[in-house]
Amino acid sequence: MSAQSADSNGNKPTVVSTFAGCGGSSLGYKLAGFRELLAVEWDDNAVATFKLNFPDVPVYHGDIAKLTGAECMRLAGVKSGELDVFDGSPPCQGFSTAGKRKFDDPRNSLFKEYARLIRELQPRVFIMENVTGMVKGCMKQAYLTIIKTLRDCGYRAKGAVLNAMYFNVPQSRERVIIIGVRNDLEIEPSHPKPQTRPITPRIAFDNCPDGEIKLLPDWLRRATQYMQPGNYSEVPTKKAFLKVKGKSSGSINTKLLSWNRVSCTLVKSEISDTGIIHPDKKRYLTIPEMKRLTSFPDDYSFIGDRKNIVSRIGNSVPPNLMRAIAEHIRKEILRK
């Protein structure tokens, strides 16, 4: 059955999600009307969180390098060429602008496992998400290698930088989205256009549920008086740190939100006293506020302590961003 006839008969388009994390992408696909056949993830806490929120989705809990195409298709209940969308966000630390961006970083090789499964499953469409660091400076060569590898799997592939803040996500979060369409479909890949204006914390936090409060240490509370709310450059924060404690360590990962400017990107860890500071300058963000800024619904469940949850949220693809991408794929590619 073709994608077009399946959609017109009311059957939901299908997706397999690799590097699924706690389910940010999966929630986006669900909101876009997709049916997830399988999720692939190795992290224990992420898998537990995923299963809590998606109890009906089968999960391969293990190393993607050990997942064969045959086993993937068996678990998903599809044959080669039948799957609509194959999704994945390979770990991106080696490409991140926050790191040293080493071209030969072993963490950059996981996309090869993603490509291997694409080659075997031959989905109609694939979607790959990664950090913008892969298209900047010396890493452009790595990006071109990734595009060529994906095209060699039998696809027309195109990448674009999308910012989640234009897709109903109250957070500035730029990501490279690579979309591939199988050659035999003869459709050029395309990306969704911006849909919304940026949403500020004042709007995002309206009627937000209460959460556990984590107060700032005294020195950091004093430093906020010299920081510029909504200025996410390291320069003013570094000056504030030097003025109050005499050293700038941690300033690059510490941001002071403004009520009236869209939030900065939420990161996956709060090391020592670093973190995102609430606009009132007295405390860090609560977990419910982080969920709001990432477009997770208030009732989305997370497991573990604050460290676990911050890691899950910071590593997630914002659900509303993936919803916009999935809806675009369904309308502009699968239905054609």
Please give the full DSSP string across 190-242, using - where no structure is assigned: --PPP-S----HHHHTTTPPP----BPPHHHHHHGGGS-TT---HHHHHHHHH
Question: Distance between CA 216 and CA 283 in Å, rounded?
Answer: 5
pLDDT at 252 over 50: yes
264 is catalytic: no
Pairing of strands 85-88, 125-131: parallel
pLDDT at 8: 42
- pLDDT category, 140, cuts 50, 70, 90? confident
Question: Distance between CA 33 and CA 31 in Å, rounded?
Answer: 5
pLDDT at 106: 61
pLDDT tens digits for 4-23? 434 444 589 999 999 999 99
CA distances for 321 relative to 5, 262, 291, angstroms:
27, 15, 14
When the pLDDT of each residue in the chain is averaged and rounded to a whole number, the result is 91
Could you identify the residue written with the tokens 């300033």?
251
Question: Distance between CA 221 and CA 241 in Å, rounded?
Answer: 11
pLDDT tens digits for 34-91? 999 999 999 999 999 999 999 999 999 999 999 999 999 999 999 999 999 999 988 7
Average pLDDT over residues 320-329: 98
pLDDT at 3: 39
pLDDT at 5: 38
**Cβ 258 vs Cβ 236: under 8 Å:** no
β partners of residue 43: none
- pLDDT category, 159, cuts 50, 70, 90? very high
Q: What domains, with CATH codes, occur in the chain?
A: 3-197+316-334 (3.40.50.150), 201-314 (3.90.120)
pLDDT tens digits for 253-286? 999 999 999 999 998 999 999 999 999 999 999 9
How many CB atoms within 10 Å of residue 81? 11
pLDDT at 31: 98
Average pLDDT over residues 82-107: 69
Percent of the chain at pLDDT exceeding 90: 82
Q: Which amino acid is at 44?
A: D
The helix or strand, by DSSP H or E, that contains position 17, with its residue range, turns out to be strand 14-18
Tell me how long the chain is.
336
- Sheet containing 174-182: which strands, arranged edge to edge? 59-61, 35-41, 14-18, 85-88, 125-131, 174-182, 155-163
pLDDT at 238 over 50: yes
pLDDT at 2 over 50: no
Output b/e per residue, 179-218; b: 16+ Cβ within 10 A: bbbbeebebebebbeeeeebbbbeebbeeeeeeeeeebee
Question: Distance between CA 236 and CA 158 in Å, rounded?
Answer: 37
Average pLDDT over residues 311-332: 97
Could you identify the residue written with the tokens 């390098």?
65
pLDDT at 46: 97
Outline where the chain has alpha helix (H): 3-8, 24-31, 44-53, 69-76, 110-121, 140-151, 201-204, 218-223, 234-245, 287-294, 306-315, 319-329
Phi/psi for 247 (5° steps) reads -150, 155
Percent of the chain at pLDDT exceeding 70: 91
CA distances for 198 relative to 63, 159, 167, 299, angstroms:
37, 23, 8, 23
Contacts of 140 (CB under 8 A, 6+ apart): 134
- Which entry of 22, 92, 153, 264 is annotated as an active-site residue? 92
pLDDT at 216 over 50: yes
Q: Is the pTM of this model over 0.85?
A: yes
What is the Cβ-side half-sphere exposure of residue 257, based on CA atoms within 13 angstroms?
30
